[in-house]
Amino acid sequence: MKFKYYLFLAKKSFFHKKINIINVLLLAISMTIIVFAFSFSKTFNNIIENQISGNINSHILLIPNHSSTVNLSDVDNISFLTDFSFYIKYVQNENDEDISLIGVPSNYLKISSGKNFSDVTDKQVMICPSRFYLGSDSEVYDEAFLENIQDGKKYVNKSMHLLTQNYDKEYKIIGTYDVNKYTYGEFNVCFTRQSNIVDISNSELEYLKNECDSEKQNCEDISLSNTTVVIVDDVKKIDETKRQIEQKGYIVRYMSEVDTNFLNAITIVLLLLTSIILVVCFIIMILYNNKKVEYNKKNNLIYKAMGYDNKTLIKVNYLEVFILSIISELLCITFCFVIYKIISQNFAVDIKTGFQIYISYLAFIVGFVISLCVSILTVYLSINNNKNTLIEELSDGEI
Amino acid sequence: MLTSLLVIRSVNMSAIKIENIKKEYKLKKQSIFALDNISYDFEYGKMYAIMGHSGSGKTTLIQCLGTLDNVTEGKVFIENEDVFKMSPAKRNTIRNSKIGFIFQNYYLNNTMRAYENVMLPMLINKKFKKSNIKDIAIDTLKDLGLSERITHYPKELSGGEQQRVAIARAIVNNPKIILADEPVANLDEENEKFVLQKLKEMAQNGKCVIVVSHNPEIKKYADVIIDMKRGKFLDNEI
Ligand SMILES: Nc1ncnc2c1ncn2[C@@H]1O[C@H](COP(=O)(O)OP(=O)(O)OP(=O)(O)O)[C@@H](O)[C@H]1O
Ligand SMILES: [Mg+2]
């Protein structure tokens, strides 16, 4: 049979059935739910990826107040460990705030704006967070707190004084790195070249020695009480790493606490939800397709009386469900567009919430393929398994 | 001269021959023989009326003659070919080109216009590959007096008009065998006459026409009357 005729039969069979309106709507809704389940998972995964795993604060474990060298050579999941870290007061305009300075190798950080250490030759340079929070000790993240958050980009190319008892140098901020937008870390952490930390450390030691000398005390054991900074590779395994270090007798603190149990639980819940939605959509599609094919059965038997074979009828039905799937897909895209508009207008993407929706384009294809597969399967099964004869089918009257 | 010779040849040929056919319906406790050991030879150029009480097996017979259903036992030959030894594809081709079905309830496709319904058998017929099948469908409808109803949907047509569309659909491929199950049961007297007259004309033109009917009126048109009772033929040919 000519393709033109297949199309004619499929079109006729599609456009004059009320049941198809229900079917299109149902498929479109199922597809939309699939898209949103996928998009929601993707959004959440992105939050985890960008805001937690991508945030250096979440990777940091601190071993405070020890004097000997820390040996962590047999601890897993560690890629960098520095012994030099200071709390330093900086002075900038009228704000002054404690910041924590950590030495890192020149290519360790991923920057979000400005330059990296390897891009400049100056010695006293820092890379600071993309968001500073200044002048608030509040534990509550209220409006006042949010107002005190400064865009770190504003500080790029500006200089600050770093002060300790015996050290006062101007540092230029050359770039920023991204920080978690939800869980504001404990500290404003800036990074600098390791050599600077050595310098600060030496001058501090010198100051302590002088103090001892002037007070004529016994200063044999002068050493700096250091905080060791451990940077872990995989945030999700940070608890295990912390445990391993603690087994070696050290006290370990998180730089910013990441509730990994919560993260894992949420991931599992999302996965479960998505699978349940998929299964439910699958079942709905099968039920409705079945109903539709039941509806077609008598028609098909009349076609058989005219000499049509199963293959031709199956092809016509396939074409019909293909038309159906395409129309549902278009409707689904429209739904998604409208819903996306509504969400993004009401939950505007801004610096305060840091909320951004990711649409999973893959889900459109997945939804389409699923609906097509289910439809094709039901058509195939119901035509090939219909052993009823015309008498039985026609015995109850009208088509 | 030549055409009449051809007609005479086909008249002599057996259209459908059945040999000892049985059709058994197995129910939970008992089984029913809807067809009980029937043998018969339906010929071209004749109109057969099959009559009998409800449940006597008339519809079952029509379905088996038209290869829509299998028999439990026995053989069915169409033009001397055993239909149950044919491939399903061959049976489909025979149904399409050699047999036209007419049903009591018309069974038109409600989503299609009258002429589109008539086009359906032509879509899969190789004979019409290069023809304008829409024109053929319209001409067939005009022959049946439906020139004003060509683009109507079945729901917009009266019962008699629907049955004429169904007849157009059954004969458009010019099949040599017409199987009609209660074609006039739902029609008024005028339409009944029209349909029976059409069927008679077809038989006169050399086709084999087999009509199931309760209606005694059919006796005026048929060449052969077969009474059925409990799946058997009672011999009372005219
Ligand atoms: N699918 C089936 N399963 C079981 N029994 C059946 C089936 N189809 C028909 N029968 C039985 O076979 C017998 C013949 O049925 P059929 O439909 O051929 O009768 P009929 O002569 O056409 O009757 P009517 O005049 O009412 O149309 C009946 O007793 C019927 O109950
Ligand atoms: Mg019947």
Residue spans per domain, chain A: 3-52+261-393, 60-255
Report the alpha-carbon distance of residue A226 to residue A383 in Å, rounded.
78
Six-digit token string for A308? 């049509």
Q: With bands split at pLDDT 50, 70 and 90, how would you rate the model's confidence at A220?
A: low
b or e along B219-232 (b: 16 or more beta carbons within 10 Å of the residue's beta carbon)? eebbbbbbbbeebb
Chain A residues whose C-beta is within 8 A of a chain B C-beta are 1-2, 5, 8-9, 12-13, 15-17, 298-299, 302-309, 312, 389-391, 394, 397-399
Residues of A in contact with B68 (CB under 8 A): 304-305, 389-390
Residues A156-183, mean pLDDT to the nearest whole number: 78
Report the alpha-carbon distance of residue A228 to residue A272 in Å, rounded.
40
Which ipTM was obtained for this model? 0.83
Amino acid at A260: T
Higher pLDDT, A15 or A356: A15
Would you state the pLDDT for residue A159? Answer: 84
Do the beta carbons of residue B161 and residue B192 sit within 8 Å? no
Atom 7 of ligand 1 has which residue's CA nearest to it? B25
Would you state the pLDDT for residue A343? Answer: 79
b or e along A263-298 (b: 16 or more beta carbons within 10 Å of the residue's beta carbon)? beebeeebeeebeebbeebbebbeebbeebbeebeb
Q: Which of A73-77, A167-171, A222-226, B89-93 has the lowest mean pLDDT?
A: A222-226
Q: With bands split at pLDDT 50, 70 and 90, how would you rate the model's confidence at B199?
A: very high
Phi, psi of B234 (to 5 degrees): -95, 130
- In sequence order, the β-bridge partners of residue A234 are none
Would you state the pLDDT for residue A341? Answer: 84
Higher pLDDT, A100 or A206: A206
Q: Do A1 and B68 touch (CB under 8 A)?
A: no
Average per-residue pLDDT for chain B: 89
Residue B104's Cβ-side half-sphere holds a number of Cα atoms within 13 Å equal to 17
Average per-residue pLDDT for chain A: 75
Report the alpha-carbon distance of residue B108 to residue A115 in Å, rounded.
77
Residues of A in contact with B92 (CB under 8 A): 304, 307-309
Distance in angstroms between the alpha carbons of the first and the last residue of chain A: 25
Report the alpha-carbon distance of residue A73 to residue A20 in Å, rounded.
67
Range B3-12+44-71+85-237 has CATH code 3.40.50.2000:
no
Would you state the pLDDT for residue A215? Answer: 67
What's the A37 CA to ligand 1 centre distance in angstroms?
53
How many CB contacts within 8 angstroms connect chain A with chain B? 69
Give how far B222 is from chain A: nearest CA, Å.
Answer: 24
Would you state the pLDDT for residue A20? Answer: 73
Would you state the pLDDT for residue A217? Answer: 62
pLDDT at A324 over 80: yes
Residues B145-167, mean pLDDT to the nearest whole number: 93
Ligand nearest to the CA of A387: 1
Higher pLDDT, A17 or A392: A17
Six-digit token string for A153? 């980009």
The CB of B57 under 6 Å from ligand 1? The reply is yes
Separate counts of helices (H) and strands (E) for chain A:
9, 13
Please identify which residue in the block is written with the tokens 């009474």.
B227
Instruction: Kindly state whether B109 is in contact with chain A, defined as any CB-CB distance less than 8 angstroms.
Output: yes
Would you state the pLDDT for residue A397? Answer: 40
Would you state the pLDDT for residue A289? Answer: 66
Would you state the pLDDT for residue B156? Answer: 94
Atom 6 of ligand 1 has which residue's CA nearest to it? B25
Residues A214-224, mean pLDDT to the nearest whole number: 62
Would you state the pLDDT for residue B106? Answer: 86
Residue spans per domain, chain B: 3-12+44-71+85-237
Which residue does chain A place closest to B95, by CA atoms? A307
The CB of B25 under 6 Å from ligand 1? The reply is yes
Ligand 1 pocket mutation, candidates B59, B69, B215, B234, criterion most atoms within 8 A of CB = B59
